[in-house]
Amino acid sequence: MPTPLTIERYTKPGQGSVNSYILVSESSIALIDTQRTLPEARELLAKMQATGKPLEAIVLSHEHPDHIGGVKLILDHYPGVPVYASQTTIDYITREKEPLVKLMKGFFADAFADDIPVPDQVLADGDVIQLAGIDWSVQELGAGEASSMLLLHSSDQDILFCADTVGNHMTAWVGDQHVDAWLAQLDDLGRRYGAVGTVYPGHGDAGPPSDMFAPQQRFLRFFRDLVRKELNGGSRLDEDAIGRIKSGLEAEYPIASYPGVAGFPFLADWNAGAMAAELAHRDWSVFTAEVPPGPDANDGQGASAAAPDAMDVSARFARPVRPAGEAVSPEVQRANLAIAREFVERGLGQGDMDAFDRLVSPQVWVSTGLKPGGPITSRDEYKAVIGATLGRALSFENADLMIEDALVTTDGRAIIRFTSHADHAGELDGVAPTGRRLTLAETHLFRIEDGLIVENYVGALNPMHWEMIYSDGIKREQLA
């Protein structure tokens, strides 16, 4: 006879719904994942407390904020309870929790927790953990839907918790750009767990394996084919192409029937850009393993002259550009990197228009979300767009900017990733100034010729933009 076990699911139906599972034994409970926002976590907590049993452990399946946002609230009511996660997830939370909290507060304000406690127990592939009186075999997957994923299987209960490898009857998030690896994982899971009685996914209803792995693969392949068709051998999508992708997706997987796992109204746009980036970068080898360092190759501000693996770097860009050109000298590489850094620090970080005049070509070409309808095609237009958006909305008086990465390619293109903060001091898109401290997180890829920036591809995920969207008539609860 199997050990008695009850599984209680908490989810908030609709766009952005995510599952937390309470495992209830005769004497205790265990929890898998903790929801995204505080209101959801409080409802989850009430469901846990209604069992009248002590909490013995929390397991976090992976690092995405919709699964870890409620950890602190739960621990505040169950102090000292161990929190289990993979080493990859632990490392991510340790490294990224402060910027992640800032990012999510830009999205959800006080509805997101002030802190994400770091898990204190490691689970690894092949481990066995006892939860609610049941032995669970641990399978740890590498990068796929997320950077890492923990699955729990009980042969005694004939149950698999598959986390976000599956969003059953939901629109997936592909922003981590590991869809090929994810598809391979689903192949393996179908073979390994095809006879399991019940599969409990990270999003959507539980069911048999036939409702899980193959349907998830079909969704991913369908979406990938839509994007590949629009790319047609190219490397980026224009607004018309994204519109066709969204229409094709809506025809086959209507959002009303397949709600988004993230709940953003622009999830399909983000997914299209991410899938395009993954497809375009697959066959590229643009970045050198090492750039000859100059005297100030690392000045302590987060810049580094060493270029990491190509896929690690290129995955940051939503709008990739042409393959590598002819190699340039180390001196030109260093000079181009210095130009890019000065432009970011002075032109973007301080709103210095003189930096535009000195460092930007009169015929510059810029792809940026500040002009979503099409590229900027001149220096004067670039200055006007910056002045009418960031220059009007943000106060540079007490702004700060930190360069996180500064890299250069063999053909002299420069890549700058930075985070900056400034006060929302002026109107933008009809939104009055809020006085809030806004965080901008951006990556810029520059092509530089004869000492001037001639192209700039901008990839950004800015809480400022989310705040504008919220204030423009979309209710916060629609995105919770």
Which of the 8 DSSP states describes residue 209?
Answer: G
From residue 47, alpha-carbon distances to 73, 129, 368 in Å are 14, 23, 45
pLDDT at 465 over 60: no
Q: Which residues of 266-287 are buried (b: 16+ CB within 10 A; e: fewer)?
A: ebbbbbbbbbbbbbbbeeeebb
pLDDT tens-digit series, residues 175-197: 888 899 999 999 999 999 999 99
How much is the pLDDT for 288? Answer: 28
Contacts 24+ apart (CB under 8 A), 378-382: 382/356
Both tokens assigned to 472: 């423009």
CB contact at 8 A, 355 and 342: yes
Could you give the CA distance from residue 104 to residue 92 in angstroms, rounded to a whole number?
Answer: 15
Neighbours of 239 (CB within 10 A): 11
Q: Residues of 329-367 as b/e, b for ≥16 C-beta within 10 angstroms?
A: eeeebbbbbbbbbebbbbbbbebbeebbeebbbeebbbb
> Residue 282 pLDDT more than 60?
no
**Spatial contact of 3 and 25, defined as CB atoms under 8 Å apart:** yes
- Rg over alpha carbons for the chain, rounded to the nearest Å, is 24
**pLDDT confidence tier of residue 41, bands split at 50, 70 and 90:** very high
Look at 311 and 411; give whichever has higher pLDDT: 411
Strand, helix or coil for residue 447:
strand
Confidence of residue 297 (pLDDT cuts 50, 70, 90): very low
**Cα dihedral value 105, 106, 109, 111, nearest 10:** -50
User: Side chain identity at 405, as an amino acid letter?
Assistant: D
Average pLDDT value for the chain? 84
Contact 442, 458 (CB under 8 A): yes
Domains of the chain: 6-157 (3.60.15.10), 222-278 (no CATH), 284-471 (3.10.450.50)
SS3 385: helix
Token output for 346: 């002075």
Give the pLDDT confidence score for residue 474 in this predicted structure.
37
In the predicted model, is pLDDT for residue 477 greater than 50?
A: no
**Helix 179-193 crosses helix 267-281 at what angle (to 10 degrees)?**
100
- At 433 the pLDDT is 78
Hey, what amino acid is at 284?
W
Q: Is the pLDDT of residue 438 over 50?
A: yes
Q: Considering only CA atoms, which of 444, 439, 406 is closest in space to residue 317?
A: 444
Return d(Cα 345, Cα 367) in angstroms, integer. 19
| Per-residue pLDDT, 185 | 95
* Confidence bin at 283 (pLDDT 50/70/90): very low
Indicate if the pLDDT at residue 310 is higher than 50: no
Look at 25 and 316; give whichever has higher pLDDT.
25
Per-residue confidence at 375, pLDDT binned at 50, 70, 90? Answer: confident
Confidence at residue 200, expressed as pLDDT on a 0 to 100 scale: 98
Q: Which residues, at least 6 apart from 166, have a Cβ–Cβ distance to it below 8 Å?
A: 186, 199, 201, 202, 203, 204, 212, 213, 216
The fraction of the chain above a pLDDT of 90, given in percent, is 56
pLDDT on residue 103: 79
What pLDDT does residue 428 have? 62
- On the 0-12 / 13-18 / 19+ scale of CB atoms within 10 A, 191 is exposed
How many Å separate Cα 138 from the centre of its chain? Answer: 25
Identify the weakest region by mean pLDDT among 2-11, 377-386, 388-397, 398-407.
Answer: 388-397
Q: Would you give the DSSP letter of residue 220?
A: H
Residue-wise pLDDT tens digits, 237-264: 888 898 999 999 999 999 999 999 987 7
**385: pLDDT strictly greater than 70:** yes
Give Cα 24 distance to the centre of its chain.
Answer: 32
Burial (CB count <10 Å: 0-12, 13-18, 19+), residue 69:
buried
**pLDDT on residue 237:** 82
Highest mean pLDDT among 58-62, 140-144, 349-353, 472-476: 58-62
